[in-house]
Amino acid sequence: MKSTYISAPLIILTLTICLLLSACTNEESFLWQGYVEGDFVYVSSPLGGQLDEINVEKGQQITENQTLFILERKFEKAGIDEASENLDKALNDLADKRKGRRPSEIASIKARLKKAKAAESLAATEYKRRADLYRSRTISEEERDKSRSDYQQATQQVHEITSQLTTATLGSRSDEIKAAESAVEAAKARLVQAHWNYDQKKQAAPRTGLIFDTIRYKGEWVPAGKPVLSILPPENRVVRFYVPEPIVGGFTVGEELFLNYDGLKEPLRIKLTYISPQSEYTPPVIYSSQSRAKLVFMLEAYPSLKDALLLKPGQPVDVSRDIKYFDHKIGLIDTIKSFFRGSNE
């Protein structure tokens, strides 16, 4: 009868594995499964147009205010040019109404005034002379009255032209100036709107992060408000995990937890930020021997900005309150690896 020989190292390894598995089973209730999710920032333009330029690539790290894409904007540029011309016209009209008539027109009025004053002076001299002649009975009363009338008309002519000169230097009436001022403000508003339309066709990064996906391609028509790409900022990577209903009451927002995933040598620290107020059934993506606890609560936690870069959306993770509960699993794997390395040698 053939005997079976079992080496001592194999027996030690078997006992070690049994002990570690037993420890993992006993402490499995202190490990909770979950996954990483990303709250994406979708970047779009409020105006539609053909995608002329896309300046980033999928998987690229970008910084805030970095140019992402540009839509065709010839129409918006023409709108700026038109609005600028209309504003110049409105400003010129307002200036013209404020300063009154042109210098040449004012000079013409002044010349007329000078001529009228000369006529008034002549009429005054003639009236004085004829009044003296009338007193000496040399001329009739009718001739004296005619010279007085001529003098009065000359004086009125001087007053009329003086008023015209004053009006010409004052400019337009106040209501006309107010209307011109309103036209200038309206033209300024249209120019601001034209610049806004032009600027909206060029979108910059609202946050620093990773270009997670490019949804549209160069040459494609992009409807207004439809995203062109999505950004994943590091602070938007969240860990969502599930705990059974009997223990959810022991968690407190703000407490520190630990996270581990396959291939991670040392667990990461995360901060609990949210505890769902509503229970739910165990999600099908969560596999655990604790299937008896069907009602679970979803919790959210965030890592530090530095550690967040290590996490990938959709990545399964384990969460615990104490780092020691990861030691058994890590120790088991290291023991098995060490044994087989020794056997090969």
10-residue stretch averages of pLDDT, the chain, 345 residues long: 48 50 50 94 96 95 96 96 95 81 77 89 88 82 85 88 77 76 94 96 96 94 96 95 91 95 91 91 56 77 93 94 73 48 51
> Residue 245: what pLDDT?
87
* Domain extent listing, the chain: 29-39+233-328, 41-71+201-232, 87-191
Q: What is the pLDDT of residue 340?
A: 46
* pLDDT score at 327: 65
pLDDT at 29 (0 to 100): 62
- Please state which CATH class domain 41-71+201-232 belongs to: mainly beta
Q: What is the model's pLDDT at position 104? A: 76
Topology at the third CATH level for domain 29-39+233-328? Elongation Factor Tu (Ef-tu); domain 3 (2.40.30)
pLDDT of 302: 96
d(C-alpha 217, C-alpha 207), whole Å: 21
pLDDT at 282: 64
Q: Are 267 and 255 in contact (CB under 8 A)?
A: no
